[in-house]
Structure 1
Amino acid sequence: MLLVVLPYLLGCAAFLTVFLARHDRLPDPMATHFSGAGRADGYTALGSFPYVALALLLVPAVLFAALAYGMRGGRTRALVAFGYALAGLLGYLLCALVLGNARAGADGTGARMGMGELGVALAVAAAAGGLGWLLAGRDATPAREPAPVVAPRLELRDGEAVTWTRSITSRPLRRIGLALVLPGAAVGLLAGWGAGAGPVVGGLLVCAFSAARITVDRHGLTATLPWLPRPRLRIPLDRIASATSRPIDPLPDLGGWGYRVVPGRSGLVLRSGEAVVARLITGSEFVVTVDDAATAAALLDALAARAGGRA
């Protein structure tokens, strides 16, 4: 995690050094947005600019640290490289923005940032990403896909109604949500809620969708929010050929957390670990990570068998 956060801390130090060294020459407001021709067409108050700039560096630092924590021992090399590249890009652009405003004069209308600066920023990002790739070292060798967990088959009598339900919470998503809300609230208090509202609203939405209630019953496999009936994700019994359970790793198996779709597989993955794996009649898989997945899968398989009339 320290390796992931390091370039953002260096970016903050570089920005603060340049900002404090040129503070007396900076216009108020500062030019912070530029047209395709490189001319300034958007401005930010000098008093709030450093808080916004530091938030731009610290928010992704916390996000990448949370992701690295959730992926420890797994495939983190690409994550570290991307994090370094983003830190290099943001750090260079923020420093270049300060220097460009310092050369612009008292009103800031003469500030320029053309495509050349963007090209240099991309080159810095590429170099930083390469450094992160080297520092991260090789990922652990992926293990072979684990065999399905064999659970005792559940025998259901005709007309017997059975329901299994359980809630699950994603710690990585909750950390990401808090990592957006807390800096966003700080920026809102210091620089105005116009600058902090976006991260706060986004963080609250991430926190709201970081938990789910999984239910297996006569309707099939259903996932909803713990406190709301909608939105709802349901796989009916007539679409399920069989069901079992096995461990799922979100990043290599489905490309990340949340509702995911990859060739031959889709599902709702809020954490790594055991999951209900429903084999659909189309040949693809639908997976849901949840505790006690073996029991849920055994019930789902029995319900699907009874609904389809198979032995």
Structure 2
Amino acid sequence: MSNPGNPSNPGNPGNPSPRNLASASAAAVDREKRSERRVIVLVGLVLPLVVIAASVALMIAWLPRLPDPVATHWGPSGEPDGFGSPWAAIGLLAAIGVVFSGLMTYTAVRAVARGAEPASVRLTVVFSPVFAVLLSVIIAGSLGLQVDLDDATEAGDVFWVFLAAAAAAAVTGVLTWLALPSRGSNPPTPTPEPAVTLEPGERAVWTRTVSAPRQVLAVPVAVGALGLVPVFLDPEMWWSSALLILLAALIALVLVARVTVDSSGLVVRSLLGFRMLRVRLADVVSAASVEVDPVAEFGGWGMRFDSRGRRGVVLASGPAIQVERSSGGPIVVTVDDAATAAALLNGLVARAR
């Protein structure tokens, strides 16, 4: 006869086994993630697509009352100085809106699967309807100014259109943020790596190079190539080319870095030796190795910050050093072999104390 009070009895509903408890917990987490994914798709994809579809339908309804071509660009004086087909404006809104909404939704769903912090996921989702509203009001509003005009040159200034777009986007962002549920608190502080034992006077240095993915490194190349266009079209526009090429160089400088841990602490420098980040050894409380997703957690690559108060140099997905400081929030630096770097930093701190 089985003992009804025996906790090892898997058939006793009053005393579930640890295995059953673990299964129930995993099922609850899975249900929560499925529910969150549905909310993300609804807010991050369906809502923006509805806004874009309504704007496209409105602009198509305006077509018989619009001049052809329509004004598509306004100069510093507030007068139209660029013209094109109204269908180009409609197609631009549809294409950019759909691609951006899809990208933000995919990023948010991926972030949930990786267990990213709630605020980071919510921020990613909010970007989608905000951008859809901003772009829709700008493009539809600029066409609305031209309804029933015989000539697009008669279109007025678009300042108020941009102001209305910014206001509508801000309201959308606040309402969407408040409407989205939170998944709970942020993850706890990671466990520090075991410290390397260092003898008094022993010198130890760890260093690695880290770079952004190839597709990100292509950005400064594309900007630099774009910078050659103005000077080829008009030699007097050399200053515009120079600015774009300078921008490309500045972007490239922060996409490849050298990370060093030594007796001075943690230092990150660009390829030209420019110091991007430094944490003095006296400021280090502890160091740990963590996994980082640049897009889901930090919104991109480069010198970044996230919603948890972390900041640092985020150039790759995968391992990163997370340094807890006495003077501020955590510092994160993505780099291979982060566990060794964190262990050495903890060893240097232990010896200094």
Same fold (TM over 0.5): yes
1:296 Cα deviation from its structure 2 partner: 0.6
Q: Give the distance between the partners of 2:57 and 2:256, measured in 1 at CA.
A: 37
Aligned to 2:332: 287
Q: How does 1:34-183 map to 2 (within 5 A)?
A: 41-47=78-84, 69-71=106-108, 72=110, 73=112, 74=116, 75=118, 76-106=121-151, 108-111=153-156, 115=160, 119=164, 122-123=167-168, 126=171, 138=181, 140-141=183-184, 144-145=187-188, 147-151=190-194, 153-171=195-213, 174=216, 178=219, 181=222
Report the Cα offset of residue 79 of structure 1: 2.6
Deviations 1:153-175 (A, max 9, x none): 32223443322122334459929
Alpha-carbon distance change, 8 to 244 in structure 1, aligned in 2, over 3 angstroms: same
Q: Could you tell me which amino acid in structure 2 is paired with residue 239 of structure 1?
A: D
Change (3 A) 1:204 1:59: farther
Q: TM-score, normalised by structure 1?
A: 0.64
8 A contact 1:181–1:199 mirrored in 2: no
Distance 1:223 1:285, change over 3 A: same
What residue is the counterpart of 1:21 in the other structure? 63
| Partners of 1:218 and 1:209 in 2: CA distance | 24
Query: Following TM superposition, by how much is the alpha carbon of 1:223 offset from its aligned partner in structure 2, in angstroms?
Result: 0.8
- The superposition leaves residues 192-239 of structure 1 with CA deviations (integer Å, 9 ceiling, x where unpaired) of 899x989998677556533432111233211122x3211432223233
Aligned Cα root-mean-square deviation (Å): 5.3
Instruction: Output the amino acid matched with 1:217.
Output: D
Structure 2 Cα separation of the partners of residues 144 and 120 of structure 1: 36
- Partners of 2:212 and 2:256 within 8 A in 1: yes
Does structure 1 residue 296 correspond to structure 2 residue 341? yes
Counterpart CA distance in 2 for 1:156 and 1:65 is: 51
Q: Which runs of 5+ in 2 are unaligned?
A: 1-39
Distance of 2:253 and 2:100 partners within structure 1? 17
Shift of 1:245: 3.6
Structure 1 equivalent of residue 277 of structure 2: 233
Q: Deviation digits for residues 47-82 of structure 1, max 9, x if unmatched?
A: 499778866876687666555555421443443233
TM-score, normalised by the number of residues in structure 2 = 0.58
Tell me: CA distance 1:70–1:105, structure 2 relative to 1, closer, same or farther (3 Å): same
Judge conservation of contact 2:78–2:158 (CA < 8 Å) in 1: no
Q: What is the deviation of 1:109?
A: 3.1
**Is the contact made by 2:206 and 2:260 (CA closer than 8 Å) also made in structure 1?**
yes
Residues 78 and 133 in structure 1, CA contact (< 8 A), matched pair in contact too: no
Amino acid at match of 1:167: T
2:257 is equivalent to residue 212 of structure 1: yes
**Runs of at least 5 residues in structure 1 that lack an aligned partner in the other structure:** none
Residue pair 2:220, 2:251 contacting (<8 A) in 1 also? no
User: Residue 220 of structure 1 contacts residue 236 of structure 1 at CA under 8 Å; is this kept in 2?
Assistant: yes
Q: 1:91 to 1:63 in 2, by over 3 A?
A: closer
CA distance in 2: counterparts of 1:96 and 1:133, whole angstroms? 27
- Rg larger in 1 or in 2? 2
Instruction: Determine helix, strand or coil for the equivalent of 1:87.
Output: helix
Whole-angstrom CA distance in 2 between matches of 1:220 and 1:117: 47
Q: Secondary structure at the match of 2:83?
A: coil
Task: Give aligned pairs, total.
Answer: 292
Percent identity among equivalent residues?
25
